[in-house]
Homo-oligomer: A and B are copies of this chain.
């Protein structure tokens, strides 16, 4: 309850954590094997533009910066304290932080409630609250907010993107960040929740739902302490952007393991799942889903174009499930079959083309193309052949596809240029027709070697989500269709 009141009293409190002007790393270390070294190094390497103060009782110099012997010794205002000292020293640090007027603290150190030291954790949080300090953790992997260049976490992720990753598992969050960095799509934020002694996933969903750098909220949690508030905040957040959640513990053994990990009652998975479905939170079944669904939802223009809640398949309020029609175009016959299978399993329609559309396509394409849905452009296709086919289908009378899946199953040069242009064409057609948002384009690039990797990066830079297999692409389309 106290956390709730505090959140209402100080709605901007989290800005101290994500948009600080100055950061102290309490427990900074010159030893490269220590977390206190990694954190300081990543803040510096991440390009944080504010002032950075290492704090270490030995003083001296760390990574080229003067280290102060205590937080109190820092000769400047400190907005954020990142704390990496042993648990028993944390209450003392919090006292100093309070006296210094620190606004936020990220406690990376473990040794609190997760090992039975509930009293120590309570002491730290009570001190923080008495000073109005918001706390992430303890026992966490830190925070990263790329727009501030603030990587007070690991691994080092610097690329700015639209995904805010909030995770009760440091590892799962780190994995998403790494994939996003590797693929060039980046993240807006990564927050490792740890013990959630003060700030929890609900506060953060609320915060990032208002964050202009965030386009999708990606959540890994093992439980939530206030299911009703969680759903209320998600319902509100969904009016602005999609929320995707992975919550393990669906089996009896998994639930018990979750209880051991977080020491909180995990609650019924079925109840949580049903509530998410009702509110419109997208439910991921795997870590790959969490990433893939977030990526697809982040890139779609249909959420904002349709005015947010209620008008999108995933907003969940509609009751009756609206149909969702997918056209599949591929250079790889096999991938087209796989995609069709998965679409059927996910409840995404792959309707036949009209006779008139088939005739138009036959006239526009080489005779060896297999004209149907899925449309097999065959292995000799150019990127331009996709453009011809999509344009013909999208402009045909009686065709109203919600999405086009383009499978590039060979090293097809210039695919990214064509896809970017095609996206513009579809948007123009949609705005001229006035029939609502343009259909989505989702791509799969598979078996394309170095060309494929390069083209994938380019396509995603142009705002089209690309997946490495037809199955993953179609599941992500299932998320766009509100099927998860």
Contact = CB atoms under 8 A, between A and B. Distances in A.
Given A251-B345, A253-B344, A372 B332 contact: no
B168 A334 contact: yes
Interface residues of A, number: 69
Nearest to A263: B370
Interface string A462-477: 0000001111100000
List the number of copies, as a whole number.
Answer: 2
A338 B246 CA distance: 10
Given A115-B368, A141-B379, A471-B288, A447 B337 contact: no
A95 interface: no
A409 B367 CA distance: 51
Nearest to A111: B368
B372 A260 contact: yes
B370 A446 contact: no
Contacts of A252: 344
Interface in A86-145: 110-111, 114-115, 141
Contacts of A174: 409-410, 446-447, 449
Given A110-B379, A248-B341, A286-B469, 16 more contacts: A110-B378, A114-B368, A141-B379, A154-B411, A155-B447, A156-B449, A169-B409, A171-B410, A172-B335, A175-B469, A248-B337, A251-B341, A260-B370, A261-B337, A286-B471, A287-B469
Interface of A: 110-111, 114-115, 141, 154-156, 167-175, 178, 220, 222, 248-254, 257-258, 260-262, 286-288, 331-338, 340-341, 343-345, 350, 367-368, 370, 372, 374, 376, 378-380, 409-411, 446-447, 449, 468-472
